[in-house]
Amino acid sequence: MGRKHGHPQPQRRGFSLIEVLIALVVVVFALYGVLDLVAANQQISLRARRRAVATELARAKMAEIRTAGFGAVTALWDKATSGPSQSFIYPSDPAEFKAPYRAGPFRWQARYSRNPRQPDAINVEVRVLWYPTTKGAPEEVLANSVSVGELLVKK
Amino acid sequence: MGGRMIKRDGRGRGLTLLEVMVAIATGAVIFAIAMGVLLTTNQTANQAMGHEALLQEAQVAMKEIRSVLEKAVWPEDMAATAVAGANVVFLKNGLALFSSHQPTTTGRICRYEFLNMKGVPGKEDTQTTTAGYQQIVPGGAGKPEFRPFSREFASTVEFRYATQVGADLQPVWLEGLPSGQKPQLIWVDLVMRDLSRRDRRGRVEEVRLTTAISL
């Protein structure tokens, strides 16, 4: 739109292609940011649901260990470890929930520990974690797991 | 058109049809993208709220089941009260027992019957399975009322029982027990479904809560 019929060039001009493209890129980035927020929100929602399910599963495992009792845990401890130890983890790798549980991506592991001053008590911590994200960074593993603890006392 | 301009006044000029069309097209693209994002956001928020509601209902139901089971009273403990028909029934999809959960105003314990009902009471024509329980007051008159775990969602509940735990701390789960026998553990599997919602794969949205309760 240059000069026409010898008229002087008007002071106002339109946007150049590069300006329009830059504006579009800015808009696309803004929309991408909104979409990213939506995806993050979805992840948080999913994590909250998984935490609720994992908490019930952890309580279930804790109930099983409580029912087995102090004697059964001590026997397992002696079998699983050689020599005196203050703690042990069983199973050594996170295990699947056996039937009748239909626990999908969830695995469990229990850590048993005792204080030498309290030989008649074992501290049990059951951790339920879910895959596949548990193979990620430590903080991610922590975020994708739930733990419940209880003191098992010799009766 | 064709670069011909319409002169309006001495200072400015109008827009060519091409410019107007390009502006409209650009606006339409941005509007479409923005609407897409808005709809996705809205859909996701709706989905999240639906999931949240489903999960909350399931958690409340599980809490109610836990409360009843943890306060279970066994027939031998009720010998002095001489309640007629004080039997305990253990089935895979049902459980009947006495509990001190929500005792009557006279302090008497109630019999609870957990079961899956085919068809929601009042809407028997539907094929929905709804889990719930009946609270029966000993000596009470009238038909016991079925209380579904959720008025809004379909649900099922399953039970298993264990009387012993193996050396590897794994319970031996049974689908039923002889009447009256006291289990050490009761496994509860509650599934709540929102039949009005389906996920992207077309599956009905559901929440499954599984736990075990030691007695």
Task: Please write the tens of the pLDDT for every residue from A7-34.
Answer: 555 566 777 778 878 888 888 788 888 8
Residue of chain B whose Cα is closest to the Cα of A90: B168
- The answer, yes or no, to whether residue A125 has pLDDT greater than 50, is yes
What pLDDT, on the 0 to 100 scale, is given for residue A37?
82
* Weakly modelled stretches of chain B, pLDDT under 50: 1-3, 6, 10
Selected residues 173-212 of chain B with any CB under 8 Å from a CB in chain A = 173, 184-185, 187, 189, 207-212
This model of the complex carries an ipTM of 0.78
In this complex, do B11 and A11 lie within 8 Å of one another by their Cβ atoms? yes
Residue B107 DSSP SS3:
coil
B27 part of a folded domain: no
B26 part of a folded domain: no
Contacts of A24 in chain B (CB under 8 A): 26, 30
| Interchain CB contact of A60 with B (< 8 Å) | yes
Mutate to test the interface with A, among B35, B211, B213 (most CBs of A within 10 A): B211
B100 part of a folded domain: yes
Average pLDDT over residues A102-110: 90
- Enclosing domain of residue B185: 64-214
The rounded Cα B96 to chain-centroid distance in angstroms is 21
Where does the pLDDT of residue A100 fall: very low under 50, low under 70, confident under 90, or very high at 90 and above? very high
Average pLDDT over residues A54-72: 93
Region of A104 on the Ramachandran plot (φ > 0 left; ψ -120 to 50 alpha; else beta): left
- Candidates A65, A31, A74, A51; CA nearest to A128 is A51
Q: pLDDT: is A82 or A114 the higher one? A: A114
DSSP state of A24: H
A70-74, A125-129, B82-86, B90-94: which range is least confident on average? B82-86
What pLDDT, on the 0 to 100 scale, is given for residue B51?
87
Whole-angstrom Cα distance, residue B94 to residue B65? 12
Number of folded domains in chain B? 1
Output the pTM of the full model.
0.80
B8 part of a folded domain: no
